[in-house]
Amino acid sequence: MRKPIGSEPGSAGEPGAPRDEAASRDKDTTPLSTVVRVRSLLPSLPPAERRVAQRVIDDPEGVANSTITELAQTCGTSETTVIRFCRAIGFHGYPELRLTLATEAGRAQSATGGRVIGSDISPDDSLEQIVEKVTFADARAVEETAAQLDIKMLEQVVDAVVAADRVDVYGVGASAFVAADFQQKLHRIGQVCSAWSDAHIMLTSAAVLKSGDVAIGISHTGATVETIDALEVAKSVGAKTVALTNFPKSPIAEVADLILTTAARETTFRSGATASRLAQLTVVDCVFVGVAQRTYGPTRKALEATFEAVRGRTVRPDRRRR
């Protein structure tokens, strides 16, 4: 099963293993791309390494200014654990991590004009500060998602959808809205597509898919049981399975042939509700536009036909209230 670029950092960090992480980081233009990678791998790390990872996420600039001994003490762990963590995320050691975090922190300050914009909403924030934090977090989610999106993986997903006789999309909770949006987009250009959020219907629909069909499971955490089970059933009957998740090493990855990832951070009052949904919609839009481009002629005709069908449903000028 193919994984997204950067989803196997452990192998890259083993002594003597070939690495192209440095080249990848050189191409990153989004501030704190290391933090994005650490956040995506957080649930898959052992508890001690997870404490180090959380410190990197919470205060990357502070970590950049700390010695390995200071960081180990702050996280209640050992220097050996810190080194293991560095290798797990694709670095040779702690000095390389510090240098990268310092560089990316500098880029982040330049991008925000030196302002420090936190993500979490505090009880004392003014409404103006809330607007600033919410829009900043949402914009970062979209930018960071685009920066880390595996284009080769995206291309394979587009190929699979274009070739499919039928597409099923599964999602519950906030992800159900994203699934419905994707279904509406594909349906409007003539692609047979269904979106399901009920656990029983997801399973029964997956059970009657066939080889050549595509099943897409959307789960921010990658741990939603209903979505994983439906994708597993779809895979068992020969359908191509796709996962859209924030965490490439989450359980849903085990039943997916192809994995697309987002890069949204969870914040106060917003767990799974806004930034993650915007990031998912960004990826969905990329898949849709890719499919539409590959089927340009039929897509243009379908869009014109559907536009004409609903054109009469808008209020005419003479019917507007005065």
CATH architecture, range 9-116: Orthogonal Bundle (1.10)
Rg (CA), the chain: 22
Euclidean distance between CA atoms 51 and 72, whole angstroms: 10
Model pTM? 0.78
Residue that has been written with the tokens 């050691």 in this structure:
93
Euclidean distance between CA atoms 81 and 223, whole angstroms: 26
Considering the chain, tell me which residue range(s) the CATH 3.40.50.10490 domain(s) occupy: 151-309
Q: Which fold has domain 151-309?
A: Rossmann fold (3.40.50)
| 31 token code pair | 């501030």
Considering the chain, tell me which residue range(s) the CATH 1.10.10.10 domain(s) occupy: 9-116
Q: 10 Å Cβ neighbour count for 306?
A: 14
Tens place of pLDDT per residue across the chain (322 aa):
333 433 333 333 333 333 344 334 333 334 448 888 898 899 899 999 999 999 998 889 899 999 999 999 999 999 999 999 999 999 999 999 999 998 887 776 665 555 555 567 778 889 998 888 888 888 888 998 999 999 999 999 999 999 999 999 999 998 999 999 999 999 999 999 999 999 999 999 999 999 999 999 999 999 999 999 999 999 999 999 999 999 999 999 999 999 999 998 766 565 446 788 999 999 999 999 999 999 999 999 999 999 999 888 887 776 666 5
Euclidean distance between CA atoms 27 and 18, whole angstroms: 18
